[in-house]
Structure 1
Amino acid sequence: MIKRILAVMLLVVLVGCNTGGTLKPNTLSVDDLCIYKDDDKKNKVCYGMSRSEAEKILGTGTKEAFGIRYDYGVKILYRVDNIAMIVLDKDSKNVYSTVRGNKIGNLKEDVLKTYGDKYPIIRETSPQSIDYIYDLENKKFLGEVSYEKIDSKKYKDHLYVSAGFNEDEYVNRIFLGDKEAIMYLR
């Protein structure tokens, strides 16, 4: 009996620690707003994390017009002292990925497979992107029309994932954060 209980507890712990298995298409949570180095999936940098925690993983960055630039194409926008937005650019290719496995150089269709094809806002004009906006309070995705009606005081309550892509449909930039960070760079 004790062996059975221990086996069940071990299974619960192992399943609970495998975030890759819980990130399903057409869902979005704060857990999706993380990146990791492709050769070190344990040390994640995530939305909401403090700057000191992030810099233990990323090292020291350089201040830019908005945010702090770190090695290998990672840019972080901090609000007070916590991560409000993570940006991956071309220099992160083959170095960093999102927790869903998206990275610079993936195809647009890869983003649709991992984040889902039910709720994307797809922009085919420049700058081309696939955007996902999730309302944390009402626990639902917002579409092209409904996201424009958000009260600006509630922008922090809306998760935002965006993958920019080029004319060949290869991802060239990834944004993870909340709507306030995306809209106002703060």
Structure 2
Amino acid sequence: MKTKMLFLIATILLLIGCSNDKFKPDTFSEKDLAIYKVDNEKEVVSYGMSREDAEKVLGKPGKTSFGVEYDFGVKVMYRNDSVALIYLSTGSEDIYKTSRGAMVGMSKEELTKLYGEKYALDNLIFYYDAKSKHFLGQTSIDSISSAEDAEGIYIFSSMNHPDGSGSLSLSLGDLKGFKYLD
């Protein structure tokens, strides 16, 4: 009887542990490619979302230079009317956060706690191959020579202030959007 009870408790604990939806550092998936309103997590803009649905959250578009600008320091690049790249800059802090909780202005240390550092390049840039499900190093990134190959590579990038006071911008999307502006 005790053995059955211990087995039942162990199984329940295992299931609880496996159902944890929290993000872990040094992992990545398409779920990372989203921003949420800080005061309402039901309002989300994510990679692959239609422009129409994104604008229900972001509001009316402004200028359209590098992507489409919205209020509060948000820019979005669309490909075939779907979100391909999300860029947060000054003005977005305390309004939008990434799916892991990162906001513009966070220190490199705070961002490292959320995203990890094992696979980070340079200024906290992560490249993740969605097809092979592993992180890529700089040599692999440099060898990508076509827009088609770049589309399946996801990126999280933080541009940090030179004095270390915090991030100036956060970018989420695919390499095709970053490298080929498409």
Q: TM-score, normalised by structure 1?
A: 0.84
Determine if the alignment matches structure 1 residue 177 to structure 2 residue 177.
no
Matched, 1:145 2:135: no
CA distance in 2, matches of 1:151, 1:68: 26
CA deviation map 1:69-92 (0-9, x unaligned): 111111000001100000000111
Partner of 1:168: 163
Name the larger-Rg structure. Answer: 2
Tell me, yes or no, if structure 1 residue 156 matches structure 2 residue 151. Answer: yes
Question: Contact 2:117 / 2:124 at 8 angstroms: preserved in 1?
Answer: no
Question: Superposed, which structure 2 residues align to 1:55-74 within 5 Å?
Answer: 55-74=55-74
Alpha-carbon offset, residue 182 of structure 1:
0.5
Aligned to 1:5: none
Q: CA deviation at 1:184?
A: 1.5
- Aligned length, in residue pairs: 166
User: Which residue number corresponds to residue 30 of structure 1?
Assistant: 30
Distance in 2 between residues matched to 1:63 and 1:100, nearest whole Å = 28
Percent identity reads 40
Letter in 1 for 2:51: R
Q: Is the CA contact (8 Å cut-off) linking 2:34 and 2:99 kept in structure 1?
A: yes
Aligned match of 1:109? 109
Measured after TM superposition, the shift of residue 43 of structure 1 is 1.4
What are the Cα deviations for residues 140-159 of structure 1, in whole angstroms up to 9, with x where unaligned?
10112221112423100100
What is the SS of the residue equivalent to 1:145? helix
Q: Secondary structure at the match of 2:151?
A: helix
Give the aligned partner of residue 53 of structure 1.
53
Whole-Å Cα distance in 1 between the matches of residues 63 and 47 of structure 2?
Answer: 19
Q: Using structure 2 for the length normalisation, give the TM-score.
A: 0.85
> Structure 2 counterpart of 1:117, which letter?
E
Pairwise CA RMSD: 1.8
Per the TM alignment, residue 168 of structure 1 is displaced from its structure 2 partner at its CA by 2.4
- Secondary structure at the residue paired with 1:52? helix
Alignment gaps of 5+ in structure 2: 1-11
CA displacement at 1:63 relative to structure 2: 3.2
Q: Secondary structure at the match of 2:124?
A: strand
Question: 1:135 aligns to what?
Answer: 129
